[in-house]
Chains A and B, each alone.
Chain A
Amino acid sequence: MRTVPLLADLVPGQSATIASLAADSGLGQRLAALGLRPGQRVELLRRASWGGPLHLRVGMTELMLRRRDAARVGITALGGAA
């Protein structure tokens, strides 16, 4: 069993705080530049169908992120719908 909840596990409307990034330095840097860094609050707005990307909001920025990549982002507290 996995113990760490991942960004990819959120359901639309939920928000959480980013705990860790298991990305290589290139992706890590890009995610950080777009605001996805540990300690930041992130909200999942929706998921595209057919296994498509996630639509997220971090701070004042909205992003799309593939599920595969979202599975490399660990989160802490799961929060309810905002």
Chain B
Amino acid sequence: MSHCQSPIWSAPAGQATVAVLGMPNTGKSTFFSQLTGSHAHIGNWPGLTVDLLQADLDLEGRPAQLVDLPGIYDLRGHSEDEAVVRRFLESTPIDLVVVILNASQIDRQLRLALQVRQLGLPALLLLNMADEARRFGVVIDAEHLGAELGLPVLLVSAKYRRGLAQARQAMVRQLGGASGPAAPGVAAPPAAIPLLEPLLEAGEPELPGRMAALLAAAVSLPPQWRDRLTRRLDGLLLHPWLGLPLFFLAMALMFQVIYAIGVPLQEALGALLDAFGKGVLTPLLSGLPPFLKGFLLDGLYQGLGTVTAFLPVIFLFFLAMGVVEDSGYLSRAAYLMDAFMERLGLDGRSFVLALMGFGCNVPAILGTRVMRSSGLRLLSMLIIPFSLCSARLNVFLFMAAAFFPARQGGLVIFGLYLMSFAAAIVTALLFKGRFNSSEPLVLELPPYRFPTLRQMLNRAWAEVRHFWFWARRFIVFGVVAVWLLNNLPLGVAPASDASLSGQLGELLQPLLGPIGINPKLTVALVFGFIAKEIVLGGLAVIYGQADPAALGRAVAADVSWTQAVSFMLFTLLYTPCLSTVAVIRSESKRLGFTVFSVVWSFLLAWLVSFGFFQGASLLQQLGVLG
């Protein structure tokens, strides 16, 4: 082939590019974060439409850039992730590929290492999860395997930080030592490979034979499956009839525990922040003009404070989800739910993603990338936004506490979770005909694993930081905007009918009046379209109350409980946030679909709130309901 593609990207001079490549779930991300600490950032690579995680690393004086590629099964595969990896390798000069495989599954995963070998890229093979391999009786002669393959092979356990120092040294050696590139014969100055396919295709015929020979020479597999723990647990947790009830019981328990611990923490933190505002900030700011002081205290501080108070619940939520995911139970959920999801035109993976959406919708929608059929992907993207995410949860916890005694409040929250499932199910049933797919489903069920405390805490902490980062940006913006709407045009009484927000609220009354949303709540909802994190801060500004309890009382004095529930239902069902809309747009690559998804969620939200509010009002008139 004569055409020569110039690299569209290259690292700064002297910096080596090291790509981490491996099959899904082999522990690439674990390895990556153990090696780089928390300095990783999402990088945008030219020529790739997706973002890759990358981090700078100092390899004994040699600066390197580590890039985490998506997990793939086969370099010749047809999935989007596989195409991304191919495009990356074709466009980026790489100094070293670190191939990570699951040691206990070397019997099938070795294939990927052989494919990398065919490309002739400088490489290093890490057999991760050495602990599991040992436990299951898989014995690997790494040295022998390395000699046969012609590249260094190391057994490591990323999760337990075993063998990482050696892996690091091996990386340094492969890069030609600390001095820099091009110790002769070790690492030639890299060039991107313009086309992978011919190389891979040429190597394909001899691959199975080569693999069998290598396995015979360097690996001994156990005659019998040795993971008794997984066998026993699966006997119970995947039981044809007990499996599903046990799963829902586990989920219900998980939420119980989160609230039992989280809500008191949230109240304590709220009280603390309030005391700080009253005791420290108020005297400190007393010299400022009332307008500015009100803005800083009742607007900004209150808005940020209310959301801060919810961080413990969110932390616990992500902690629990992390444990469920890491233990291997989440893949079992896909198995258990697949029969049901199939009838909705979806599959077990859609269920797992919707479940992850209870944390945040955005990564859940990104997760649909594992699906190849566009019908299945779109239908999954249509239902994920109905998952009650943590941002909405904080609105509901607040409203439930303001309008109901503790026991009833818990039921209301539970009811909203049920509603969230119901909306997803109804949506799937209505539209499965338009987005059909016959995508096959094959998923790995990994052995059960014990999550380590450190790993779980780190992860939950990272999620909370991420949430806080978003929330802060949106809240500052939202609070400023709501404040302005309430106080403009100049000279109006704040939030009165004459103010911009009053006018906006009035304007939308014909639409929102029938569902019980008054002009003040309307303003909160309008800003909630940008992000649900704004809703509470917005309410605080609109009702001019600093203390959460006082805000609760002010809202409760202004609207009835039926209006409040209608408001919650609407908040649950309409578009979660602009970020979700943006990611639906970028992932579906279809404007029409994005608009459809937004319109449908509004319509459903309106219909459900209308049904509830009118029904409840009717029952109240008949004297059936209080």
| Cβ B225 vs Cβ A55 within 8 A | no
Q: Residue B348 contacts which of A51, A61, A64 (CB distance < 8 angstroms)?
A: A64
- Cα–Cα, bound, A15→B105 (Å): 19
Q: A50-B339, A53-B338, A66-B342 are in contact. Are A60 and B105 (CB under 8 A)?
A: yes
CB distance from B329 to the nearest CB of A (A): 14
Interface assignment of A4: CB less than 8 Å from any CB of chain B? no
| Cβ A66 vs Cβ B238 within 8 A | no
Interface assignment of B444: CB less than 8 Å from any CB of chain A? yes
Residue of A nearest to B443 (CB): A64
| Cβ A49 vs Cβ B442 within 8 A | no
| Cβ A26 vs Cβ B78 within 8 A | yes
| Cβ B107 vs Cβ A59 within 8 A | yes
Interface assignment of B469: CB less than 8 Å from any CB of chain A? no
CB distance from B454 to the nearest CB of A (A): 27
- Cα–Cα, bound, A36→B443 (Å): 12
| Cβ B442 vs Cβ A69 within 8 A | yes
- Cα–Cα, bound, A33→B112 (Å): 9
Binary contact track A61-74/B, C-beta < 8 Å → 1, others 0: 11111101100000
| Cβ A66 vs Cβ B136 within 8 A | no
Q: Residue B441 contacts which of A46, A55, A64 (CB distance < 8 angstroms)?
A: A64
Interface assignment of B185: CB less than 8 Å from any CB of chain A? no
Q: A62-B445, A63-B445 are in contact. Are A47 and B440 (CB under 8 A)?
A: no
Stretch at the interface among B32-40, B69-77, B578-586: B69-77
Q: A35-B107, A64-B441 are in contact. Are A59 and B221 (CB under 8 A)?
A: yes
| Cβ B107 vs Cβ A66 within 8 A | no
- Cα–Cα, bound, A27→B240 (Å): 27
CB distance from A10 to the nearest CB of B (A): 16
Residue of B nearest to A25 (CB): B78
B340 contact set on A, CB distance < 8 A: 50
Q: A46-B240, A53-B339 are in contact. Are A31 and B442 (CB under 8 A)?
A: yes
- Cα–Cα, bound, A53→B442 (Å): 9
Interface assignment of A23: CB less than 8 Å from any CB of chain B? yes
B105 contact set on A, CB distance < 8 A: 35, 59-61
Interface assignment of B241: CB less than 8 Å from any CB of chain A? yes
A46 contact set on B, CB distance < 8 A: 234, 238, 240
| Cβ B238 vs Cβ A55 within 8 A | yes
| Cβ A60 vs Cβ B221 within 8 A | yes
A25 contact set on B, CB distance < 8 A: 78
Binary contact track B98-114/A, C-beta < 8 Å → 1, others 0: 00000011111001000
Residue of B nearest to A33 (CB): B73
Residue of B nearest to A68 (CB): B440
Interface residues of A in 14-35 (CB under 8 A from B): 23, 25-27, 29-35
20 A-B interface contacts by CB (under 8 A): A23-B440, A30-B73, A32-B74, A33-B73, A33-B74, A33-B77, A34-B108, A34-B444, A48-B238, A48-B335, A51-B339, A51-B342, A55-B234, A59-B105, A60-B105, A60-B107, A60-B138, A60-B225, A61-B105, A66-B347
Give the top 3 A-B pairs by smallest Cβ distance, nearest first.
Answer: A52-B339, A33-B73, A49-B240
B residues with CB within 8 A of A:
23, 73-74, 76-78, 104-108, 111, 136, 138, 221, 224-225, 230, 234, 238, 240-241, 243, 331, 334-336, 338-340, 342, 347-348, 372, 440-447
* Other A-B pairs, 6, CB within 8 Å; known A29-B78, A53-B339, A57-B225: A29-B76, A45-B234, A48-B336, A60-B106, A62-B447, A69-B441
